[in-house]
Chains A and B, each alone.
Chain A
Amino acid sequence: MINLLLMNGYGLFVWSAFAFTLINFFGLYVIINRQLIKENKKFKLKFNNLEKIKYIQAYKQSTNQVLVSSNAAQKI
């Protein structure tokens, strides 16, 4: 275990390179996921407040159907 951490004296370099990569992955994921949740909320709020005729018109579009039915942003 100690050998794994020390890596023959290169532990600080190796672990910091891997940590930097994973922190960046996490950071990017969080930023984009926040944007997605925000836009999804805005869309659903607008969609549900549409007048009935406009709602039916908007619901005819296949992409709108997917967006209204999905809640993916919060789940992944």
Chain B
Amino acid sequence: MLNSFFEIFKIISLSKLTRIIVFSLFVIFLTLGLFESLLLSPEDYIQSDAVRIMYVHVPAAWISLGIFSFIAFLSLGIFIFKNKNFVIIAKSFAPSGLVFNLIALVTGSIWGKPTWGTWWAWDPRITSMLVLFLFYVLYIVAWRLFENDKAAKISSLVAITGFVNVPIIKFSVDWWASLHQPSSVKILSETTIHSSMLTPLLLMTAAFALFSVLIFLMKYNVELIKIKNKGLDRL
């Protein structure tokens, strides 16, 4: 059952059409998102136009957190089901997760200067995001340093260990005194951000998510072709 699902998944992800669809959607959402966030959305009454940095900083942070959580979830699956498909999927998501984490850190730093007066502060949210970045680096380095099965095991352990940091990032603004404000966009309770700002934020989040799917599909193809290349050698 699981194997037949992955076989269909492989065919779909290898298809050129899938990538064309994802790429087209990404371009559409990015164009709309940029238009909304740079031209249509209002400036903040305190931060003025500096608030527009939020439209790249927040989605990047959300996506990097989401990807790492997904990698950790798949890593757990690697130990439970011993399925190699989980390994390839987790490995293929890591590059985009790392880049989104870097974007969140750098754009956060750029936003910090006009709003807090500093490029960097050892604030709980920023520090825990930096720790997540280090876990991403460790995860990718593990794949470079070790061979196949050993790399899968070590990188999975890194992801599972690093997952402890995810709730710390989420609740750091509630647990400790932080320069960051508590979350304005909530799933379970009422969102406190105005729709004129929420629309570009969601559009950019969708665009970023589509970009991570596109990169995943391309990286997944690279990994599959590498395996197929080895398979041809064994024929």
From B57, B211, B218, B229, residue with most partner A Cβ within 10 Å: B218
A residues engaging B (CB < 8 A)? 4, 7-11, 13-14, 16-18, 20-21, 24-25, 28-29, 31-33, 35-36, 39-40, 42-43, 46-47, 50, 54, 57-58, 62-64, 66-67, 70-73, 75-76
Question: Which chain B residue has the least Cβ–Cβ distance from A69?
Answer: B16
10 contacts between A and B (CB under 8 A): A13-B111, A17-B106, A20-B107, A28-B96, A28-B99, A33-B218, A39-B222, A46-B233, A58-B232, A67-B225
Contact indicator B114/A10 (Cβ below 8 Å): yes
Find chain A residues with CB under 8 A from B221 CB: 36, 39, 72-73
From A25, A40, A42, A46, residue with most partner B Cβ within 10 Å: A25
Restricting to B55-78, which residues have a CB under 8 Å from any CB of A?
56-57, 60
CB proximity of B119 to chain A, nearest CB, Å: 11
Tally of chain B residues near chain A (CB < 8 A): 48
Apart from A14-B38, A17-B53, 4 more pairs, CB < 8 Å: A29-B214, A36-B218, A67-B14, A76-B19
Contact indicator A35/B222 (Cβ below 8 Å): yes
Find chain A residues with CB under 8 A from B11 CB: 62-63, 66
CB proximity of A4 to chain B, nearest CB, Å: 7
Question: Which chain B residue has the least Cβ–Cβ distance from A16?
Answer: B110
In the docked arrangement, what's the CA distance between A43 and B104, Å? 37
> What are the 10 tightest A-B residue pairs by CB atom distance, in nearest-first order?
A72-B16, A7-B49, A39-B225, A10-B50, A17-B107, A66-B14, A17-B53, A10-B49, A21-B56, A54-B235
Name the contact of A24 in the complex, choosing from B53, B57, B102 (C-beta under 8 A).
B102
Find chain B residues with CB under 8 A from A33 CB: 218
In the docked arrangement, what's the CA distance between A7 and B57, Å? 18
Given known contacts A46-B229, A76-B19, A76-B23, A17 and B235 CB-to-CB distance under 8 angstroms: no
Interface check B219, CB cutoff 8 A? yes
